[in-house]
Amino acid sequence: MQQCLEPPVSLLSSFSASFNVSLWHTLGQVESTEARAMHNVGLAGLTYWSPNVNVLRDPRWGRAQETPGEDPLVVFKYAANYVRGLQEVDGQGYFSTQNRLKVSSCCKHYTAYDIDNWKGIDQFHFYAKVTAQDMEDTFQPPFKCCVEEGHVSSVIYLVSDCDSIEVYYDDIHYTRTRDDAVALALKAGLNTNCGDYLGKYIEKAVNLSKVDMSTVDQSFIYNYIVLMRIGFFDGDTKVQPFGNLGPSDMCTDGHQSLGIEAAKQGIVLLDNNGVPCRFTTPLQGMQKYLSNITYEPGCVNVQCTDASQNEAAAKAAAAADNVVLVVGLDQSIERESLDRVNLTLP
């Protein structure tokens, strides 16, 4: 099985750095095509928790690499076009195809989310002081656009107090038991849970009459509607729309060319994280044009936890006419649940 197209990822923004709405739409189409191809051979589902449309306000955030950037206008245009590319069955919209979905997309994380774990403060205990203007001008537009223009099929919400501890206690309700929390969440419209709370405590909540079975049924209905829209219950995938897609549709020359074009248009892009179809290292690229190259790794990993190779690299640099220093980040430096404390090189 060939590897799928991995769109370019940068420190501050992904392919949104191209500022090209048609490119975002096309990349969504390509990714959903490859998702369908993987689904047809049993290697992938059809519901995707993508894209991340949180506005990036601090580049130290561990999930900065997932976001479209710091500009709300760019973020919400990216959101709508990428979602449409992922979900549209025929490229013309949903209603011409009985509201079908190619894959199910999900805009995340609603709302005011830009911290994971920074100096002991995590996303679940963060006191988010957000003004009404900042909420409407910065945080909300991407989600509004996801729904109204992208017609996204789901939204992930995040537990954030949004400067509303009193509101959480009095209106949203702070609960003392897990089954109470599950009951209130279901009543508020939650349909699925990224975790184990619903699975563990929903039965107890029903048995204690804290939530009606009809409310549970409604949550199931909403989930099954999405599955019906992606054709999950339509039988043999080979005779369904997109049933002809398979390994030969993975990482095609056209898809690879699109990935290269996306990287070119977003020139600040630094990293193509994942397993690419094929790759050329910076060293290999330079060796194609230069014959006299001295290479020293300098560090054993991105964090440079072992300094034993530093001296050799320093000597090589001192003796060279020109030095090309290749540096960067990986998931050991920043990721979900791991924010950076500064912006210096690792």
Determine the Cα–Cα distance for residues 8 and 259; give it in Å rounded to an integer: 7
Which DSSP letter does residue 9 get?
Answer: B
Sign of the alpha-carbon torsion through 69, 18, 147, 108: negative
> Between helices 141-148 and 72-87, what is the axis angle to 10°?
30
Q: Are 325 and 295 in contact (CB under 8 A)?
A: no
Phi, psi of 315, rounded to the nearest 5 degrees: -65, -40
Check if 134 is active-site. Answer: no
Residue 216: Cβ within 10 Å count = 18
Q: Which residue has the tokens 């209106």?
A: 171
Q: Are 83 and 151 in contact (CB under 8 A)?
A: yes
Q: Which of 58, 71, 90, 161 is catalytic?
A: 161
Residue 285: Cβ within 10 Å count = 10
- Point out which residues pair with 277 in neighbouring strands: none
3-state helix, strand, coil in the chain (%, to 5): 40, 5, 50
- Which residues are the active-site residues? 161
